[in-house]
């Protein structure tokens, strides 16, 4: 099962992918609005990848790995997972720094969101970010998600945006 866009392939993970994902998850700039700039350990990276494999097997969705055409280099992820220990499907995206600012996260998120609604039949998807992460909240808005709430987790202020399946077909996605 893969999804494809003009510039990207969205694919499922293999355990061995963790080494290709490591430069992204240990880049302090990538991690700025995730851990406050603390790189993930190898154990966290392996566990993330294994979680995606298990998520896809049990739920039919995951945070797809992103391969850039034509070389198929792993440049990040985009897709739905569970945020921390919640049971709320949450869409998210991380890209390698050289890939920022080219519209790639949005390009990946449009089919990832559509797939989660149409094939997986999720009824509601949220997205969570630090409010300072303007690029991320901008993508949420471009996808048609609407502001839901502001909350605090472990002393960090976060915003939650959300979209229901019915609203996805109101016409805003992809514009």
Query: Footprint of ligand COA on this chain (CB under 6 A)?
Result: 30, 33-34, 92-95, 100-106, 129, 133-136, 138-139
Closest approach, Cβ 59 to ligand COA, in A, equals 20
18-31 burial by CB neighbour count: b if 16+ within 10 A, else e?
beebbebbbbeebb
CB-nearer residue toward ligand COA: 42 or 132: 132
In sequence order, what are the residues at sequence separation of 6 or more whose Cβ sits closer than 8 angstroms to the Cβ of residue 44?
A: 25
Q: How far apart, in whole angstroms, are the C-alpha atoms of residue 41 and residue 58?
A: 26
Strands laid side by side in the 73-82 sheet: 3-4, 8-11, 63-68, 73-82, 89-95, 124-129, 156-164, 146-153
CB-nearer residue toward ligand COA: 139 or 162: 139
CB-nearer residue toward ligand COA: 103 or 166: 103
Closest approach, Cβ 145 to ligand COA, in A, equals 12
CB-nearer residue toward ligand COA: 44 or 106: 106
Closest approach, Cβ 175 to ligand COA, in A, equals 11
């Amino acid at each position: 099962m893969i999804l494809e866009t003009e510039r990207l392939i969205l694919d499922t993970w293999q355990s061995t992918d963790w080494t290709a994902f490591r430069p992204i998850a240990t880049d302090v700039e990538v991690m700025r609005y995730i851990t406050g700039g603390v790189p993930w350990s190898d154990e966290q990276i392996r566990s993330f990848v294994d979680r995606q494999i298990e998520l896809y097997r049990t739920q039919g969705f995951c945070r797809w790995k992103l391969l850039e055409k034509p070389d198929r280099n792993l440049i990040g992820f985009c897709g739905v997972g569970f945020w921390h220990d919640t049971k709320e499907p949450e869409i998210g995206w991380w890209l390698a720094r050289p890939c920022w600012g080219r519209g790639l996260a949005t390009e990946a998120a449009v089919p990832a969101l559509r797939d989660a609604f149409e094939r997986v039949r999720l009824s509601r998807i949220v997205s969570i970010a630090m409010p300072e992460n303007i690029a991320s909240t901008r993508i949420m808005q471009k996808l048609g998600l609407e502001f839901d709430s502001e909350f605090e987790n472990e002393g960090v202020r976060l915003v939650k945006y959300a979209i229901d399946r019915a609203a996805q077909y109101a016409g805003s996605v992809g514009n």
